[in-house]
Amino acid sequence: MDGNGRWAKARGLERVSGHAEGAESVRACLEYAVEKGLKYLSLYAFSEENWNRPTQEVEALMELLMRYIEQELPLMMKHNIRCIALGNRSRLSDSVNAALDSVMAKTAANTGTTLVVFLSYSGKWDILQAVKKAASQLTPQELLSLEPQDFERFLVTADIPDPDLLIRTSGELRISNFLLWQGAYTEFYFTDTLWPDFRKPQFQEALDEYARRDRRYGKVK
Ligand code: FPP
């Protein structure tokens, strides 16, 4: 969800205002995901690298996230949305973790769209924690005979499918340490639109483009 800072700067506003407007885009896209019957909507809300931002911005982002979760809970219940948070949760504050645990518990039995919030997440971190977990749980022999599908269950995304489509806003053309393993066959969609301007019509455009893609997974037709 890139481009919040630039959206704010272009209007002479603080970066935080861009994140607040970005939260409105989250709301709109979540509503649209439900409307379209998408099974999963994943958001890269905060990367491991984002911890290096000024403390004030990090705190404002965490506040915004907690507020969003609290405010959106009734809507999540109404629309049967299940919310899960994935990432290096040990780096998050107790209050953020408590808010996440609460929304996850309250929405756990919902069966509609799953909203996956990636927080304090990075692809390299995920792969490394999976390696450590595998090494602590498997015998040396089991480790040596690991196949990709066996390894995947140690990633934090073990319970969710790999993403079909990855949308990156604001004209940046990189993956920025997102789902490095899981994105092996993901379709990428890049748009110059800044995240706060990314609403239903822009989402639909991305879905239309995805529908035109020919996914061969390395095979021939
Ligand atoms: C990247 O834009 C955006 C972020 C690091 C934060 C994204 C967070 C939100 C949209 C807040 C709400 C989230 C949820 C899940 C409710 P940037 O700051 O890097 O923008 P720039 O590249 O223009 O500086």
User: Is the beta carbon of 22 within 6 A of some atom in ligand 1?
Assistant: yes
Query: How high is the pLDDT of residue 139?
Result: 98
Expressed in angstroms and rounded, the spacing between residue 170 Cα and the centre of ligand 1 is: 11
Query: How high is the pLDDT of residue 221?
Result: 78
Expressed in angstroms and rounded, the spacing between residue 21 Cα and the centre of ligand 1 is: 9
Q: What domains lie within the chain, and their CATH numbers?
A: 4-123+164-208 (3.40.1180.10)
- The three-state (H, E, C) secondary structure of 127-163, written as one string: HHHHHHHHHHHCCHHHHHCCCHHHHHHHCCCCCCCCC
* Atom of ligand 1 minimally distant from the CA of 72: 16
Q: For the whole model, what pTM was predicted?
A: 0.96
166 — phi, psi (to 5°)?
A: -115, 120
Q: Annotated catalytic sites, by residue? A: 2, 50
Query: How high is the pLDDT of residue 77?
Result: 98
| Structure-block tokens of residue 139 | 């015998």
Expressed in angstroms and rounded, the spacing between residue 110 Cα and the centre of ligand 1 is: 27
User: Is the beta carbon of 117 within 6 A of some atom in ligand 1?
Assistant: yes
User: Is the beta carbon of 45 within 6 A of some atom in ligand 1?
Assistant: yes
User: Is the beta carbon of 131 within 6 A of some atom in ligand 1?
Assistant: no
Nearest to 160 by CA among 207, 208, 116, 130: 116
Query: How high is the pLDDT of residue 19?
Result: 97
Nearest CA residue ID for atom 18, ligand 1: 5
- Mind listing the pLDDT tens digit of every residue in the chain (221 residues)? 999 999 999 999 999 999 999 999 999 999 999 999 999 999 999 999 999 999 999 999 999 999 999 999 999 999 999 999 999 999 999 999 999 999 999 999 999 999 999 999 999 999 999 999 999 999 999 999 999 999 999 999 999 999 999 999 999 999 999 999 999 999 999 999 999 999 999 999 999 999 999 998 889 87
What is the DSSP secondary structure assignment for residue 79, as one 8-state letter? T
Nearest to 98 by CA among 124, 62, 127: 62
